[in-house]
A and B are shown apart, each in its own frame.
Chain A
Amino acid sequence: SQKIEQNSEALNIQEGKTATLTCNYTNYSPAYLQWYRQDPGRGPVFLLLIRENEKEKRKERLKVTFDTTLKQSLFHITASQPADSATYLCALAPYKLIFGAGTRLAVHP
């Protein structure tokens, strides 16, 4: 069956450093992949979309890579800030989006 894996352990980093989150998937060939941010008690908010023919996508301090051979996407936040602390979710599929469980990021001053 289709499976998406994100690091279940929280990622703790120092302010100013680059945070890197991983999304691995199996038994699927998605046309594109999306990343969302979720704050406690709130619904997820869309951040970035990357298509299967794109290796990398950037938006301000965010960068996403998509390796269809490794079946992996990496999500980077450069110059991280405490306000970046949240749970980050990856999602696959062209129609019925399938979500990973998310990785909680904590950026410490």
Chain B
Amino acid sequence: NAGVTQTPKFQVLKTGQSMTLQCAQDMNHNSMYWYRQDPGMGLRLIYYSASEGTTDKGEVPNGYNVSRLNKREFSLRLESAAPSQTSVYFCATRGATNEKLFFGSGTQLSVL
């Protein structure tokens, strides 16, 4: 039982390049989230998906797009990476509104 799996674990991009961060969960949860974590800033919500087929913006959505491919998978895409997007990205899932989040191990992204 893997829980929440994120790929890749590390990535270095040049400014302007694009990439997709992948997230898959085997917990049969409806809700999935993408956060970024920067030093001193805490976790900030980028996008979330309440259920398959729906997505909504979080606190810092600019420069990102998401796809809820099916119940298991929720991907985050950077169309034109910028140095300001250098961060650690976490995917998380939750079964119900008042329950805890389960996090993946994160993707460390550097944009040069």
* Residues of chain A whose beta carbon lies under 8 Å from any beta carbon of chain B: 4, 8, 31-32, 34, 36, 41-46, 49, 89, 91, 94-102
Contact = CB atoms under 8 A, between A and B. Distances in A.
Nearest to A96: B45
Contacts of A94: 97-98
Contact of A46 (B4, B44, B90, B101): B101
A95 to B, nearest CB: 6
Interface of A is mostly: loop
B100 A43 contact: no
B105 A42 contact: yes
A43 B42 contact: no
A57 B103 CA distance: 23
Interface in B28-47: 33, 35, 40-45
Given A97-B45, A102-B42, 14 more contacts: A8-B40, A41-B105, A41-B106, A43-B92, A43-B105, A43-B106, A44-B43, A44-B90, A46-B100, A46-B101, A94-B98, A99-B42, A99-B43, A101-B41
Contacts, number: 52
Interface string B44-72: 11001000000000110000000000000
Contacts of A36: 101
A41 B97 CA distance: 27
A34 B101 CA distance: 10
Contacts of B102: 46
Nearest to A34: B100
A98 B101 CA distance: 12
Given A43-B104, A43-B105, A95 B97 contact: yes
A72 to B, nearest CB: 17
Contact of A49 (B33, B40, B45, B100): B100
A31 B45 contact: no
Given A8-B40, A101-B42, A96 B100 contact: no
A101 B40 CA distance: 6
A101 B98 CA distance: 21
Contact of A32 (B35, B40, B98): B98
